[in-house]
Amino acid sequence: MTEPVTDNDSDSSHDPSAGPDAEPSPDPDIDPSLESLFREGFGFTWGETDETTWLRSDEGDYKRVHPAFFGQLRDLADGRTDPSTHDERVRRTVALLYEEGYLRPGEDVAHHETPEDIRLAPRFGLFAATVAVFAAAITVRWPEIRALPADLEFGTGLALVVLPVLLGSIAIHEASHYVPSRRYFDPTIRFGLLNGVIPAIITRTTDAWQCPRNVRIWISAAGPFADVVVATGFALAFVVVPGQPILGFLALVIAARAVFVLNPLLEGDGYWILVDAMGWHNLRSRGFRDLRDLTTSWPAAYALLVVVFTVVFVVLNVVILATVFGVV
């Protein structure tokens, strides 16, 4: 799972957790120290990605800013204009940015050069070809696949085989996010909760916002691609080596994981691919805000689907665990 960039209008945890936001926040009380900030000057780190101007805080958070406001911010930072000549709304926004750690007193303005973009077509072409090979292998062994429930002895022995393989595939998945990220920034790996309840290992790729859209999409897609490659390896082994139903079972389990993480209703790989592909930054935070306020909107409809999916997922898992342990 990736956790790309943080929602600045939510309480957020994809980390990477959504795109930066520059929508006005509630007016803060202007700190008297702003007078010295304007007098001494200040600096900040900024960049441009996909025609979006952003600021980066020392904590690694990002905030999208409007080009018109950014021009005034530069003038204030360089001391070219007097704060009193700017609209009060501009001064309040500067105060907010200062409080949130985006402005650094007495420092210079630093510009981050946007990395070169990449081509997605050959990468996703390879992804599609791998899926086709997996489907062909499963089709060849379809009678054996249908017989898996009868051929496998579900129990401790099977778990001792599947669990290490599954953990290994998770490590490969996260490494596949981590490795391409390292070319552009320093990602980190942590344990977290998807949708607030589903345990997962997450590669934190907040600084992916510095990268062009195609780079961000590929960083998110690289993990599921690795899952498909591993699943295809087991599927081909299932074709080549007869009488080993465990190979077919492992192929299906890992393929199911790839489908699961590509689900856009999870705050994971599929969500970030959707957000970057469509340009719907802060879809989750805006959706839950509209849902809370009973505002009719597409983001609110998305948030409602997330709630329904999460509840159903948790209930199904509770029922399955209860059945396994003989509670029901």
Per-residue pLDDT of the chain (328 residues; tens, 9 = 90+): 766 544 444 332 234 433 444 444 444 444 565 777 887 789 999 999 888 899 999 888 899 999 999 999 999 998 888 888 888 888 889 989 998 999 999 899 999 999 999 999 999 999 999 999 999 999 999 998 888 877 777 677 777 888 899 999 999 999 999 999 999 999 988 888 887 787 888 888 888 989 999 999 999 999 999 999 999 999 999 999 978 889 999 999 999 999 999 999 999 999 999 999 998 888 999 999 999 999 999 999 999 999 999 999 999 988 877 776 665 5
Distance (Å, rounded) from C-alpha 59 to C-alpha 203? Answer: 17
